[in-house]
């Protein structure tokens, strides 16, 4: 098969998603790995310890692999199907074996060491030096120093972990997709807003009830968040809320999709892998690649935040119980009574705001913000790139002189039948200078917000607005990088616990007056969001911030404990260990059957193992970064643009070419402080 016959073998540019089918996967990966093994052997015999003789050809080899596997992985997230899944699982072991073989190459490792110790070293730019140092570290953490039985065992572990991670993710998708609750009586949907009724009727029609209407039903509830979230928040029937809630917290926890045995096996293998490399725990191995210096340093930050948030969360929960006039609030009651309390305290009905946040207007406001503070112009470029679904959009980013500098995809809507939940940004094409020409970056921005219903556009909740801003922040770091070395451009080579800085930074702009009023217009009348509603949003920003922070700390501390303290085969199961943290990190104990670990994809099928704390670690950085704009006055356009230019040149521009603390200090002029985060969340005493 020639490369032109198989779209997954093109190896450069944007993948032709409209031409790729699951049938292409196995032959493409099989042929590619054969070619790359030959290329690796040739490089190992001809390598010289120079940038041109080592890093450039190795990067080219890695990018060919990343291009094909990246396209397949992307489609697994946004266009999952039984056929694609089978093809992916058929080739994944071969890919893992090749990756292990490449990362453990002694000739390449020795060449990197010679480059680090040789006369050429001082002539390399700081970004080049950091790429070389990262390559040495990554090779060592990938087992390059192992031989014999330990090496064989290490590689077998990596192979099994990859397979377990894929199974874990598929189980969550399948279990989420399997549940549906069909409601036929008006009293069963009492309290639910019109937008939800329209979505639930549309879901019913998609599942075969051709006559379903928002007014008369039937209505179908799913565990997809645009359905599940509002149902818990607004549904007046507690028994139905309980049914849906229990289904949600027990996803992938029993039967054919039971992730419990996978969790135990994953944790055991990760610990064994870490011990083979000489670490005491997988958390220590994980932190070897991160900004945080030690497990103790992470625990110290989390405890500092816990001590502030726990008493605040207790007060908030007691107030909620008093408001609901019960001392026996159940977990499925929390969102419902919280929304009622929020409405009473702030006269703010979050559902009533949806008509003011139609996706087209929100997008316009977001892109105007980027233009205003970062001096870029962003315009639709639909039709200029292949797409994987008709709802997908494509955009072009230009610099102040009008020259193209980046592109991005936006896949905004929930598609529970084929798309995994959550939201993410990923790298489609990375920036690099190749043969004197700059390759422009392309990003994927993926959300799971409320889709258009009938003749309405996607009407977003305020949470969905902040999610879009968050993912766009990741995209900005990928797209506005000025680094020309592929290995350190954009988000590449940025320590995991610093990579959330730009994303969480962008969320703050959702509360900025100029930004909000530029995008909040009623989708039918064009009327701006009333000033009173904006003031309510500001007032409600810190509502239940103690409970919100404590929830994130619970996830972070459970993750850390599982990867630092859990002993496989002991008397304590992963669920037991999670329960041991419940008294100090929750104010309403989970139900006995709560199996949230079974759907905790961030740490079992994503990149956050022993790294979920990164959200809080980076939130300190992001809040402090936004404070630099607040200090000059958000209404002072010239000053904001000056700070924005500095943020673009440092945080967004330097990518992974400089250590993140150095990047932060070059922007802020000092090390980060927690004061801004505690102030933004209303927890500063």
Cis, peptide link before residue 297, omega less than 30° from 0: no
- What is the C-alpha separation between 267 and 282, in angstroms, rounded? 9
d(CA 404, CA 398): 4
Residue 83 backbone phi and psi in degrees, to 5: -70, -45
Q: Which of 245, 239, 212 is nearest to 227 (CA)?
A: 245
Range from 52-56, 288-292, 349-353, 505-509 carrying the lowest mean pLDDT: 349-353
Query: Which candidate, 617, 660, 285, 647, places its Cα nearest to that of 494?
Result: 660
Torsion of CA 646, 652, 656, 660, to 10 degrees: 60
Closest to 356 (Cα-Cα) out of 526, 520, 535 = 520
Dmax over CA atoms of the chain, in Å, equals 79
Token pair 């453990």 is found at 104
CA dihedral 259, 264, 270, 272 (to 10 degrees): -150
Region of 444 on the Ramachandran plot (φ > 0 left; ψ -120 to 50 alpha; else beta): beta
| Cα 379 from Cα 398, distance rounded (Å) | 8
The whole-number average pLDDT for the span 306-333 is 96
| Mean pLDDT to the nearest integer, 166-174 | 95
DSSP code per residue over 102-141: HHT-HHHHHHHHHHHHSTTGGGS-HHHHHHHHHHHHHHHH
User: Taking CA 245 as the corner, what is the angle to CA 243 and CA 250, rounded to the nearest 5 degrees?
Assistant: 100
3-state secondary structure of 382: coil
- Percent of the chain with pLDDT strictly greater than 90: 95
Alpha-helical segments (H) within 480-519: 501-507, 513-519
Give pLDDT, residue 494.
95
Q: With 60 as the cut, is the pLDDT of residue 455 above it?
A: yes
- Mean pLDDT for all residues in the chain: 96
Helix axes 106-117, 25-46, angle to 10 degrees: 50
Which pLDDT value is given to residue 159? 97
Question: Percentage of the chain with pLDDT > 70?
Answer: 99
Backbone angles phi, psi at 349, to 5 degrees: -105, 105
Residue 281 DSSP SS3: coil
Residue 32's pLDDT is 98
What is the rounded average pLDDT of the residues 18-30?
A: 97
> Residues 674, 304: contact at Cβ < 8 Å?
yes
428 pLDDT more than 70? yes
Q: Which of 471, 495, 507, 533 is catalytic?
A: 471
- Average the pLDDT over 630-637 and give the result: 96
pLDDT of res. 684: 78
Task: Kindly report, residue by residue over 569-612, the tens digit of the pLDDT.
Answer: 999 999 999 999 999 999 998 999 999 999 999 999 988 999 99
Half-sphere exposure of 583 (CA within 13 A, CB side): 3
What per-residue confidence (pLDDT) applies to 220?
97
Is 44 designated active site? no
Q: What are phi and psi of 450, to 5 degrees?
A: -55, 125
Tell me: pLDDT of 3 over 80.
no
Strand stretches in 517-625, DSSP E: none
pLDDT band at 685 (very low <50, low <70, confident <90, very high): low
Give the chain's end-to-end CA distance (angstroms, integer). Answer: 67
Cα–chain center distance at 600: 13
**Cα R_g (the chain), whole angstroms:** 25
Q: Which of 111, 17, 102, 150 lies closest to 428 in space, CA to CA?
A: 17
Q: What is the reported pLDDT for 2?
A: 64
Q: Which tens digit of pLDDT belongs to each residue from 536-562?
A: 999 999 999 999 999 999 999 999 999
Tell me the per-residue pLDDT of 385-403, one tens digit each, with 9 for 90 and over. 999 999 999 999 999 899 9
Residue 377: pLDDT over 80: yes
Domains delineated in the chain: 3-145 (1.20.1050.40), 179-251 (no CATH), 256-346+545-612 (1.10.1370.10)
| DSSP class per residue in 215-242 | TTB-EEEESSHHHHHHHHHH-S-HHHHH
- The bridge status of strand 404-413 relative to strand 442-449 is parallel
Phi and psi at residue 396, to the nearest 5° = -115, 140
CB-based contacts of 199: which residues, under 8 Å, 6+ apart?
Answer: 226, 227, 450, 451, 453
Give this prediction's pTM: 0.93
The CA distance from 582 to 584, in Å, is 6
Where residue 349 falls among pLDDT bands split at 50, 70, 90?
confident
Compute the average pLDDT of residues 131-144: 97
Could you read off the pLDDT of 272-306 as tens digits, one per residue?
A: 999 999 999 999 999 999 999 999 999 999 999 99
CB atoms inside a 10 Å sphere around CB 401: 7
Distance of CA 169 to the CA centre of its chain: 14
What letters, b where the CB count within 10 A reaches 16 and e where it falls short, cover 463-496?
A: ebbbbbbbbbbbbbbbbbbebbbbbbbbbbbbbb
pLDDT on residue 172 = 96
What is the enclosing helix (H) or strand (E) of 680?
A: helix 675-680
Q: What is the pLDDT of residue 1?
A: 57
Return the structure tokens found at 663: 């990047």
């Amino acid at each position: 098969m020639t490369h032109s016959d198989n779209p997954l073998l093109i190896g450069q540019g944007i993948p032709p998603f409209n031409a790729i089918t699951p049938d292409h996967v196995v032959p493409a990966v099989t042929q590619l790995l054969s070619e790359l093994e030959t290329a690796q052997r040739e490089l190992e015999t001809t390598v010289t310890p120079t940038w041109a003789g080592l890093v450039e050809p190795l990067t080219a080899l890695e990018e060919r692999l990343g291009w094909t596997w990246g396209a397949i992985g992307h489609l697994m997230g946004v266009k999952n199907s039984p056929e694609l899944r089978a093809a992916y699982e058929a080739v994944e072991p071969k890919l893992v074996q090749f990756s292990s073989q490449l990362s453990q190459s002694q000739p390449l490792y020795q060449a990197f060491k010679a480059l680090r110790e040789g006369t050429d070293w001082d002539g390399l730019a700081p970004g080049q030096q950091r790429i070389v140092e990262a390559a040495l570290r990554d090779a060592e953490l990938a087992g390059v120093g192992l031989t014999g039985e330990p090496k064989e065992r290490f590689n077998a572990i990596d192979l099994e972990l990859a397979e377990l991670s894929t199974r874990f993710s598929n189980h969550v998708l399948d279990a989420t997709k399997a549940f549906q609750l069909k409601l036929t009586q008006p009293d069963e949907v009492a309290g639910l807003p019109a937008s939800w009724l329209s979505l639930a009727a549309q879901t019913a029609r998609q599942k075969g009830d051709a006559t379903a209407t928002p007014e008369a039903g039937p209505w179908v509830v799913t565990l997809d968040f645009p359905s599940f979230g509002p149902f818990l928040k607004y549904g007046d029937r507690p028994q139905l809320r309980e049914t849906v809630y229990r289904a949600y917290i027990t996803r992938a926890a029993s039967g054919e999709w039971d992730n419990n045995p996978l969790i135990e096996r994953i944790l055991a293998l990760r610990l064994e892998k870490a011990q083979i490399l000489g670490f005491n725990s997988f958390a220590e191995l994980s932190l070897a690649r991160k900004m945080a210096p030690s497990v103790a340093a992470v625990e110290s930050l989390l405890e500092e935040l816990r001590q502030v948030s726990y008493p605040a969360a207790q007060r908030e929960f007691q107030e909620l119980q008093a408001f609901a006039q019960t001392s026996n609030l159940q977990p499925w009651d929390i969102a419902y009574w919280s929304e009622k309390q929020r409405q009473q305290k702030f006269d703010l009905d979050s559902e009533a705001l949806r008509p003011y946040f139609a996706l087209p207007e929100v997008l316009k406001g977001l892109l105007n913000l980027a233009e205003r503070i970062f001096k870029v112009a962003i315009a639709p470029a639909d039709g200029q790139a292949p797409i994987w679904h008709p709802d997908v959009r494509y955009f072009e980013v230009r610099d102040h002189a009008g020259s193209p500098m980046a592109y991005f995809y936006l896949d905004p809507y929930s598609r529970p039948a084929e798309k995994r939940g959550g939201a993410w940004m990923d790298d489609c094409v990375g920036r690099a200078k190749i043969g004197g020409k700059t390759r422009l970056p392309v990003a994927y921005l993926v959300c799971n917000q409320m889709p258009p219903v009938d003749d309405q556009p996607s009407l977003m909740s305020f949470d969905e607005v902040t999610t879009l801003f968050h993912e766009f922040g990741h995209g900005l770091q990928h797209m506005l990088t000025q680094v020309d070395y592929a290995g350190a451009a954009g988000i590449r080579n940025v320590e995991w616990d610093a990579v959330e800085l730009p994303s969480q930074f962008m969320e703050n702009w959702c509360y900025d007056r100029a930004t909000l009023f530029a995008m909040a217009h009623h989708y039918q009348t064009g009327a701006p969001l009333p000033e009173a509603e904006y003031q309510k949003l500001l007032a409600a920003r810190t509502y239940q911030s103690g409970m919100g922070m404590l929830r994130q700390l619970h996830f972070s501390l459970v993750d850390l404990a599982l990867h630092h303290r859990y002993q496989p085969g002991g008397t304590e199961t992963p669920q037991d260990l999670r329960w041991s943290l419940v008294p100090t990190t929750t104010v309403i104990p989970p139900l006995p059957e709560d199996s949230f670990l079974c759907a905790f994809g961030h740490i079992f099928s994503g990149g956050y193992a022993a790294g979920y704390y990164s959200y809080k670690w980076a939130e300190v950085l992001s809040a402090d970064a936004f404070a630099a704009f607040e200090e000059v006055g958000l209404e002072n356009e010239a000053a904001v643009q000056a700070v924005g230019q500095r943020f673009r040149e440092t945080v967004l521009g330097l990518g992974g070419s400089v250590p993140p603390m150095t990047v932060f200090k070059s922007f802020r002029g000092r090390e980060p402080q927690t004061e801004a985060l505690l102030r933004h969340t209303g927890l500063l005493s």
